[in-house]
A = this chain, B = another copy of it.
Amino acid sequence: MARRILDANDRMAARNRQKFAASEVFVLNVMSSPGSGKTTTLIRTIEQLKARGVRCAVIVGDICTSNDADRLAATKVPSVQINTDQFGGDCHLGAHVIREALTGLDLDALDLLIVENVGNLVCPAEFDIGEHARVVVFSVTEGEDKPIKYPLMFRVCDAVLLNKVDLLHDLDYDVALAEQNVHAVHPEMPVLRLSATTGEGFEAWLAWLRERVAAGG
């Protein structure tokens, strides 16, 4: 049963990918634990990309509430909120849910579509949505061992955004150990240290993302 669901998801993901290619839009899937700072990171990311002429939109997945979409509305880019409680309280965004959300967006008018997934380090890693790149936001308040405890998430992603580095001075946190744990499950994956609150580290992250967007899907 689980296999059949994943096969059906993969077929829909492939269809999504064709649709993204036809519109030449790059799609980024952003995943993390609840409370790691995805929305704050995306607000700052979108504001800075928009200022540099990158046309963005965002799909926001949550089980309940439109809190994140309401916050992202401040960026004034097109946004679509998905509440998975209509789909049984799903703990991830499936390719078919993304497909439905696309009807609310003009893909031809976009360079970059960002998907903010449901806060969960486990299940979203199993579902391809047709995206071109995946990043995991990993906050320093979560401890250094998450990559080895949730290896699939760190294995399927293309970069780690090590967030909340502004709090490091207050924590007993070993950044080198966190990076070592990332590389134990995904050798050489970039670990970009940043703070969505202060903006520290955003230049390197935006450079990484813009390079990917420029290279295409």
Residues of chain A whose beta carbon lies under 8 Å from any beta carbon of chain B:
1-2, 33-36, 62-65, 67, 88-89, 91, 118-123, 139, 141-143, 145-146, 148-152, 164, 167, 170-171
Contacts and interface: CB of A to CB of B under 8 A. Distances in A.
Copies of this chain, whole number: 2
A145 B146 CA distance: 22
22 contacts: A33-B119, A34-B142, A35-B139, A35-B141, A35-B143, A36-B142, A63-B150, A63-B152, A64-B148, A64-B149, A67-B145, A67-B148, A91-B91, A91-B123, A118-B122, A119-B121, A119-B150, A120-B121, A139-B141, A141-B141, A167-B170, A170-B170
A34 B9 CA distance: 26
Main secondary structure of the interface of A (DSSP, over half): loop
A39 to B, nearest CB: 9
B170 A62 contact: no
Contacts of A34: 33, 121, 142, 146, 149-150
Given A65-B149, A143-B35, A122 B91 contact: yes
Contacts of A151: 63-64
Nearest to A88: B2
Contacts of A149: 34, 62-65, 67, 119
A148 B34 CA distance: 12
A141 B33 CA distance: 12
A160 B63 CA distance: 20
Nearest to A122: B91
